[in-house]
Structure 1
Amino acid sequence: MKALIVDSEEIFRLSLREVVAVSASFTDIIEAGSEHEFLAKTAAHTDLSLIILHPDSLSKQGEDWVKLIRRLYPGIAIVTVANDTHVPESRWMGTLTVPRTASVNTMITTVRRAMRLPTDNTAGHYGKVKAPDLHATSSNDFSRFQENIPATTTNEGVDLNRLSYRQKQILAMAADGLPNKEIAARLNIAEGTVKAHMHSIFKVLGVSNRTQAVIRYGASGKPMGPNGTPSPEYRASAI
């Protein structure tokens, strides 16, 4: 069985991977962080058994995406993750809905219900399940990424001076674990502007996702100050 997690926040996708992995015997857990990735993954994988969808991560109405999923995969198990804990399940066309703040056991139970698997003993069986160890997961991702970094990529090879002052601010905040929405609020800019800057950062650093960009940032050896403020010695090159 294959599962697809659709969420724009990478840290949340990492958490859900851990949850999905212990919920059922999935052979592959796939991720999509944008509409483009979502469409690409659904085009490449025709045998999905479960989709966990955070509708607010996609620009169009969430109901439209649920309709699309059901056309592509009739009978597939769908779990929607809602920001608002008071949103009625009827809005998501009968899919199982959980709040973004749901506990690990609640999410496991919901996944198993969606998959029509027994849940009677779920609480007891998974009662000792701890929240996903994001530090360990990130460390594993870091190790895998390091193995794939070309030999020519060293600390000296990571030139953050190619980034604008604003891009350096955003990258520093991303390295602190702030989501795009929080970064936008702190810098008083639109969330879409943050996303556009992030894509530009990916291109400049030669990476394909947020985690890799943060790793490159850490490898530069030139950290910034609090809230993404460049250190004094770093400001002159940012202008």
Structure 2
Amino acid sequence: MVQVLLADDEAMVRAGVRAILARDPEIEVVAEAADGHEAVDAARRHRPAVALLDIQMPGLDGIAAAAQLYRDLPGTGVIMLTTFGEDDFVAHALQVGASGFLLKADDPRELLAGVHAVAAGGAYLSPKVAARVIAGLRTGRMAIGTPSRRTIEQLTVREHDVLALLGTGLSNAEIGTRLYLVEGTVKAHVSAILSKLGVRNRVEAAIVAYEAGLVGRHH
């Protein structure tokens, strides 16, 4: 069972998101919060697998709350949920360690897929957000400190393969299945990739994979 914390200052939005999550018998909403402070406190009490945080909340906003959770509860993956898809919001969310970013206007199936991906240790950007990120990186509108293509060249062939699949949001177990590797070996490869690329999390690594043109190699 994937335990989820849901934080949004609008009660009707929380009800709608909760209803979508309730469609999946493997997801359980264990706590709700109306602001960032409540979200952090609830996450510390319940230690959910995933925290769904609205970006704009009173008191402590979602990005500040995500930063606290990333620092204090590394076992909780954070997905930012918002009506805004502007580059600054996306970049800030990724910089503080968010594992996913979804728009409230996305297909409900994206929400369920994102929760499962992040709960499994993967990263998830909705297709609309991913497209904006890649376009932003290519045009220079968005800068999140990702490595240059030259940095990618220091990866081994196997690390390139792992990074390509990581870029699609797959978990370590799923990557292992694709590449016929045990999960522990994939985890070691991912750690080496993050270290070599100088990125902090799987989302930043996934963006690197997109930017380097690696995504799609094993489809």
Q: TM-score range by the shorter chain?
A: 0.3 to 0.5
TM-score (norm 1): 0.43
TM-score (norm 2): 0.46
